[in-house]
Structure 1
Amino acid sequence: MRKRDLGILLLAAFAIFFSLQHEGEFSFKEAWFHLSDEYPIKYEAERLPPPIVADLNGDGKKEVLVATHDAKIQVLEPQSRHVDEGFTEARVLAEVSLLPDKIRISSGRHPVAMAAGVVDRSYKHGEIKKQVLVVVTSGWSVMCFDHNLKKLWENNLQEDFPHGAHHREIAISISNYTLKHGDDGLIIVGGRMEMQHHVCCLLIFIIF
């Protein structure tokens, strides 16, 4: 064996030994928590969408957006503390109700999917990019909010579904790509629904 090959072999062995010695050198420390009302989930449709992390107002700080069982979306500010100081409760920066403004009925307003993203492509280099929040409810209402949780628009897709169908999966895609001149962006909502006799369908909606 040549000295060069032996040197490469020893270097590789040392690299493997070093990586194994430093593998897993991370730990989880107490940071923050958020208390929410616990509701017994009887049906899969009652499950809330997972929280999302986004910088809505573009200030460089991430917020955590969570959905609640009383048809609300809350924006949390995680409190940063020093290591070993324990948990601290996250501060609620803002919240918005998904219930209608005039008639406060909760039927069909349960949040089932949400996503945040940028739709405006007119930003210049170095300019703050503010995001929008899109929420889909169990009644197939699609709502769009700005970075201050002000509702920009709402569109109901219920009439496009067969009678008796209920959702199984919902996905939201937010993009600043435009299909028509003058549009601010593009929001795509895809859903898999289940009808009677366990017949599943896949529908995709494009909202400008």
Structure 2
Amino acid sequence: MSANLIALLYQASLQTLYMVAVSAILGTLGGLPLGVFLATSQRGELLSAPMLNRALGLVVNATRSVPFIILVVAIIPFTRMIAGTSIGTNAAIVPLTIAAIPFIARLVENAIREVDAGLIEAARAMGATPLQIIRKVLIREALPGIALGLTLAVVSLIGYSAMVGAVGGEGLGDLGIRYGYQRFMPDVMLAVVVILIVLVQLVQSIGEWIAARFDKRAPRNRGH
């Protein structure tokens, strides 16, 4: 493999990392509060708003049901309005973020719903407000699950970032298509696949480590 192709692989890897990092941050900023609200707003819950909960749930499910590659094409006018263009790394961040928000929201919702209901009742008995319960009990207890959920979201975004290469996005997916597929260079395609696998393994390992640090049960389990 020539030095030029190695340089292209390096640049494409940086582009992929940039797309995934920015969309993961924006997706978390949108998905985390949405997930918390979905987990606490059904009838009789801390932030009881069943009608709004149902409406947001329908939007989340509808967005998640659209295949990513179709979502990318369907929102091209919106992407162009936000990013000023429909191609390139900045443009790719728009559909990546839109796909990430509902995905992260459901993962956060599931993590919070796994918190022992007895902890909520105990906090209520002590006079804690709903927001205090959410911040100091639910989110704190759900942190290991949230960390694993965000890890899964980032891994999915790495895969999605490769897909946007088929529709004008840059990064490893674009490089694999232009050189590995269209120019019949299997060594480039292999290098792209290996880099993506390494990125996924690295993200998974870091995510599991962070989740273990948040897990209060981990020290006791190791003690046995």
> Larger relative contact order (C-alpha < 8 A, sep ≥ 6)?
2
Between structure 1 and structure 2, the one with the greater Rg is 1
TM-score (norm 1): 0.22
Q: More strand by proportion, 1 or 2?
A: 1
Compute the TM-score of the two structures, normalised by the length of structure 2: 0.21
